[in-house]
Structure 1
Amino acid sequence: MGMLMEDKFIYTEEERLLSDQLLEELKGLLEPLFAESDLPKLRKHLDESVTNNNIQRNVFGLNPILCSIQTAIIAVRDIGLKRDSVIAILLYQSVQDDNLSLEDVNKLFGEGVSRIIHGLIHIQTLYQRTPIIE
């Protein structure tokens, strides 16, 4: 029984507060491009992912939700990525893990986001199949 408890993702209150702050910061950075419904839909997806135990800490024990949001903020600030790319960063792992379909991404956030995620998954598949030549 102890093993099951260890496998459950624990989203601490501190992490939840930090992710809310970071999402608000991200919304501010993308203000004119973010649809009014984007943030509530993203929060709903993240909450459902935690509730359904679809989230696992990475090999370093870090919270992947926070890592994704922090990556998105860096991508906006330093690279100038826009809405579709940022949402794709936030949802990519959920689609990769089969916790969210590309069809659902398309319905919720648009074709641009689903096409980016599809491309990222395709590239990941190619890397897995192609041996590295040195």
Structure 2
Amino acid sequence: MSKAEDKDMAASETAWREKLSPEAFHVTREHGTERAFSHPYHTEKRDGMYRCVCCDAPLFSSDTKFDSGTGWPSFTDPAVEGKVTTHEDTSYGMRRIEVRCANCDAHLGHVFPDGPGESGMRYCINGCALNLDTGESGA
């Protein structure tokens, strides 16, 4: 990595730290995980669009949210095709599929093939990686 790239990364990290809460920074920029049942979005019932806490991209609609019993907000599908990307994650001795924001590369959570509905998927997302926009519903 060049010195210029090093400097850009440091500046970017500083900007993210200023914008995000310490927990949101840890989860979205350092690929962390919030404690189960710790964020109010896991029981949230209001309609709206869940957006990326980092860049405000629309990610998940409340129309696809369900109670998975895991302690994290869970969704059957992204709101808009192409707004999330998936990546193999072999951390902690497990093989999982990580979910990131396609716009800013923020770590959101993981997706598992044990969800309800047609897709059969469960997007298990950290609440602190999201902002709920109640003025917008659906995709």
Q: Shorter-chain TM-score category?
A: under 0.3
Instruction: Name the TM-score, length of structure 2 as normaliser.
Output: 0.26
As a proportion of its length, which structure holds more helix? 1
TM-score (norm 1): 0.27
Q: Which has the higher contact order (CA 8 A, sep 6+)?
A: 2
